[in-house]
Structure formats: C-alpha cells, structure tokens
Chains A and B, each alone.
Chain A
Amino acid sequence: MIGFDPVYRNLVSSMSIAVKFFASLREQVGKSEERLDAGPAATVAEIWQLATGGQPLAANTLMAVNMEYVDAGHPVQDGDEVAFFPPVTGG
C-alpha cells in the first residue's frame, strides 16, 4: 500500500548516477566511468565514497554535477552526471 504513495516511493527509491573520473584520478581509481545506484539525498562526497570503495578524497579534487562545478556537499539527483578530476592544466 505504502509503495504506491508517490512521495514515500520517492524517499526510498534509489537514484541512478553516472560517475566520471579524469586524468590522474582516473588512473588512481582505475576506471573512467560507471553507473551506480545511490540512496536518496546523497551528496557528491558520498558518491565518491561509493564509487571508489572509500578512498580518501584529496582536498584539491574538483567536482562537477551535470558539467557545472560544485562543492563536495552538493546534493545529487536521479540521472545526474557526477565528475571528479584534479586541478586543471590547460592552455
């Protein structure tokens, strides 16, 4: 019964998140991308923990959600693309 409640279902259902790693972080983590299921109300930092099996998150790591820079505490939503990468060195 309660499973038909759209609000409740939204609270308990998991989210599908695309995770990407670039440059030295890709080599460190050993993968360039994956899709994972996260619990509701996950943050970018929690996605890192899930995706890397609890590796420490270096203080200078840059993070993006849907290709916009965010902080580690930024919430993620179902379908988001979350990316982790080191300081940029273009130009």
Chain B
Amino acid sequence: MHIEIRQQPFDPFDEVRDYQRNTLNEAGKYGATALFIGTMRDFNEGDDVRAMTLEHYPGMTEKHLEKICGEAQKRWDIIDSLIIHRVGDMYPDDPIVVVAVWSAHRAAAFEASRYLMEELKSRAPFWKKEQLSEGSRWVEHNS
C-alpha cells in the first residue's frame, strides 16, 4: 500500500497507471481495480468558489491514512491500495484525492475503496478553506 500527501497538482490517471505498472508488480493477479477521484467544484452551499486551500496535520494525516489502508487490507481480500491527497492552494477542476484498490474480484475492490474514502472524509485530519467572490470561509461540514 502507498499513501502520499502532495503539495503540487497531479493527474490521478497518470498516478494510478504508473503505480500499477511500476510498483504494484502483480500483473495477472488482480481482476478488479476500483478508482475514486475527488475533484474540486466551483460551487458549495449555493456560493461560487474561486479557490481553496487545503491544510493537513503533517505526521498525523499520513499515520491515519496508513492505518485505514491497513484496516482495509485486513477486512477485505485486496491486493493493494493507493491514496494520494492534495494540500495547499487549488482551483476548480483540480483533483483533490485519488483512491485506488486492486483485488482479484470486484466486490472487495468496490467495498474497500468506498471504506477508504468514507474513513478519509470522516477521520483524516484535512481542512478546507474556500475563497469566495467576497472573502473566505472554512468548510464546516463534509457532505
């Protein structure tokens, strides 16, 4: 498994392809790859959002992401998992997060990737601050 906090924009499709080719090294073993990509919207709670700053808790965030990947590995019969999450200043259409799970059969990949995203959203220490047309605000609820 691999988790990473990224300061710079990334292409989630390139990342998953490169990981699968160069790191996973399990060709022929996985029959299912589930991929989730979170992308920044230009609207939230009825307002136009121009930009966003994502903050994290260096150390704890990585520790928590590793922990949930380990839990997914125990709960489902998966081969590997990958999480990359952006921090810093970002703009609409920028990828925020990619979660990929590889398994022999689809059920484990679907369920484990859903689990990783829900755990990430509810417990991993990240915070979003939105820049609106006028002023900025911290996002208070994760929908």
Contacts and interface: CB of A to CB of B under 8 A. Distances in A.
By size class, the interface of chain B is: 20 to 34
B51 interface: no
A91 B117 contact: yes
Contacts of A20: 57
Nearest to A20: B57
Contacts, number: 71
Contacts of A86: 127, 138, 140
Contact of B140 (A64, A67, A87, A91): A87
- Interface of B: prevailing SS: mixed
A85 B141 contact: no
B16 interface: no
Interface residues of A, number: 16
B120 A91 contact: yes
A18 to B, nearest CB: 12
A90 B64 CA distance: 12
B21 to A, nearest CB: 26
A86 B55 CA distance: 12
B126 A88 contact: yes
B127 A85 contact: yes
Contacts of A41: none
Given A87-B142, A90-B85, A90-B97, 9 more contacts: A22-B55, A23-B138, A64-B60, A83-B57, A88-B142, A90-B124, A90-B126, A90-B127, A91-B117
Interface of B: 38, 54-57, 59-60, 63-64, 85, 96-97, 117, 120-129, 138-142
